[in-house]
Structure 1
Amino acid sequence: MKFDILTLFPEMFTVFESSIIKRAKDKNIVDIKVHDIRDFTTNKHRKVDDYPYGGGAGMVMQAQPIYDAIDHLKSIYGYKPYTIYLSPRGRVFKQEVAKELSTMNHILFLCGHYEGIDERVMDIVDDQMSIGDFVLTGGEIPTMVIIDSVSRLIDGVLSKNESYEDESFSDSLLEYPQYTRPEEFRGKRVPDVLLSGHHAKIDKWRREMSLKITYERRPDLLKSASLSKKDIEYIKAISKKSK
C-alpha cells in the first residue's frame, strides 16, 4: 500500500524509520513517501502562506504550492491518489474508518498548518479527517496516527493476522486484561481461569472482561457493539451491581 504525505515539516516523519512500520517498509508491504510543500512554491523565499482575506489572526497556507504538489504526484503516478486533508472539520477517525482505508491502494495525506489552507484546495480533496475534538499545531501527528492504525491492518504488517482481531475497538469493545509470567507478582496473581487450560472458559472470561471494562470506561461504545443475548444479560447484571 502506498502513502504519500504533503507537509511543511518532512523531518517529523522519521518516526516511521523504527518498529513495526519500518519492518513493513523493508518488506515492501507499505511505501511511505514524504514531500515538502515548500519545494513547490513559486516564491523565491519558499514562502507558502499569506494573510487571510477579510482579516483575522494568523496566516493561511496558499493554494498554489498545494495544487502544484498534487499535480506533480499526478504526473508521476498517472492518477491522483485518494486525498485526505487533516482538519477539525473532518469526520472523526475511528477503527471502522481504519478498516475502510486499509482496503485502498494509495492514499495522499495533506497536512495543514498555521490557520488552515485556502478553501479552494478543497476542490481536489476527497476526504477530511480529524482524530478528535482538540486542536493541534498541524496535520502531521494526525497523519502519523492514521498511517500507523491503517498499516497494522494490512496483511503481513503484523506477524499474525490474529494479532489485531481481539484488540480494543475491533468489535467496538475495549480489550480484556492481559497477563504474563510470573504467575504471582508482588502478591497479585494471574486469574485462575487463565491458568486452567480450558479454552471455552477463558474465552468466556475474556468476553465478560471486555464487556465490563467497556461498560465502566466507555459505555458509549456499547451502542455500536455486536452483542449477543448473553452479553446483554451480563451487562444488565453488572449494571445492577454498580447501583
Structure 2
Amino acid sequence: MPARIFVDTPLHADSAEISLPAAAARHVQVLRLQPGHSVLVFDGRGGEWQAEVTHMGRSEVRVRLLARHVVQRELSHGVHLAVVMPANDRMDGLVEKATELGAASIQPLMAERSVLRLSGERAQKKCAHWLGVAVAAAEQCGRTQLPLVHPVQNLASWLAQLSPDSSQRRWLLSPGAQQTLATALPQPGTTTLVLSGPEGGLSPAEEAAALARGFTALALGPRILRADTAPLAVLGTLSLLGADGV
C-alpha cells in the first residue's frame, strides 16, 4: 500500500502539482521515496488523493495529484472524549489510540486531583505535539479526518461552558456508578460525549457538577481501569458498534 501523507493545506482538483509542507516533505524523505513513487495524500477534511512524487530535493518535495478517492472511515456518530490528562506522557498514547479508534475530538482537562497541570505556552506546545501524534496515527490507520485537539481547560470552566443538548449522550465514567456501559448503549443520541477523570478520580463535587450538566454516571466493570485506559475502552466499544449504540 502506498505511504499516506498528511498535508496541512486544502487540496483541490486544480492543484495539479503541489510542494509538500515541511513536515510532509520530511516524511517522504525519511521513506526515501523517489520521483515516480505513488503516495496517498489527505488534508484531514475527508477523502484522499492518489498522487505521484515528481521531485525529490533537499529542501523541496513535489507531488502530482492524480485522482481523488471519496472514502468513509469515520464512525457513523461522533464520539468526543473529554479527559483529565493522565501523567507521565500517557496522554500521547491516549491521543494515538483515540485517533485510531475514531474519536471526533479530544478535550484535555485539569481537575482537582490532576497530576499533570499545564498552562500558557507549555499547554499550547503540548496541544501542538498531540496534534502531531494524531496526524501520525491518522496516516497509519487510514483516517481521512483528524480529531480536533482542543486547548487545555479546567474541568469546572469547561463544564460551565457546556450548552444543553438533548440529542447528545453524555457519559461520566465513575467506578462507583450503578449503571453500566452495557445498559446505557441503547439510549438514543446523535453524538456521545465521554468524560473521564484523572488517576485519583474526580472529586464528589466534580462528579456532581457533571451530573448537573446532563451526564450519566457509568461503571465499566468490576476492575479499576487506568486514567488512559477507561476512555479508550468506551471508544473501542462504540467503534466496534459503529457508535450507534445498537
TM range (shorter): 0.3 to 0.5
- Higher share of residues assigned strand: 2
- Higher share of residues assigned helix: 1
Structure with higher RCO (Cα < 8 A, 6+ apart):
2
Max radius of gyration: which structure? Answer: 1
**TM-score for both structures, normalised by structure 1:** 0.39
